[in-house]
């Protein structure tokens, strides 16, 4: 079974899909405590309930697959479209920080078309 790490996990929707596809989600992260409660009900196991900026990347297990759905409000055409000028938009760089350490073979990011 191939392992994977999940960032900005929410209630675990993407994680469930990866699990159904045969992946073992060995580590997950979400800042919202209510989302973490639901995540734990959907996927028993570990989820780091913390701000991703406070997590030392060296504490995250290395794996070949990294995925996540970071906040899209900064880029969405339904929002103000402030991009990297919005603090939430800069969470993209937290993924880059972790990926730079992990060196996964695959990175899957769920977001909105205006990200480009």
What is residue 99's three-state secondary structure? helix
Q: Which of 66, 51, 68 is nearest to 111 (CA)?
A: 68
What residues act catalytically?
A: 72
Q: What would the two tokens of residue 105 be?
A: 């073979």
Are 48 and 55 contacting, i.e. CB atoms less than 8 angstroms apart?
yes
- Measure Cα distances from 107 to 62, 64, 66, 96 in Å: 13, 9, 5, 10
Q: How many CB atoms lie within 10 A of CB 93?
A: 12
């Amino acid at each position: 079974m191939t392992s994977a790490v999940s960032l900005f996990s929410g209630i675990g929707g993407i994680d469930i899909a990866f699990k159904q596809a045969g992946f073992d989600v060995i580590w997950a992260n979400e800042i919202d405590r209510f989302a973490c409660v639901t995540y734990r009900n959907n996927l028993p196991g570990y989820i780091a309930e913390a701000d991703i900026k406070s997590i030392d990347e060296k504490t995250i297990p290395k794996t070949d697959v990294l995925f996540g759905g970071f906040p899209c409000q900064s880029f969405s055409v339904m929002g103000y479209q402030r991009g990297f000028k919005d603090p939430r938009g800069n969470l993209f760089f937290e993924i880059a920080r972790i990926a730079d350490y992990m060196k996964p073979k695959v990175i899957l990011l769920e977001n909105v078309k205006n990200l480009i």
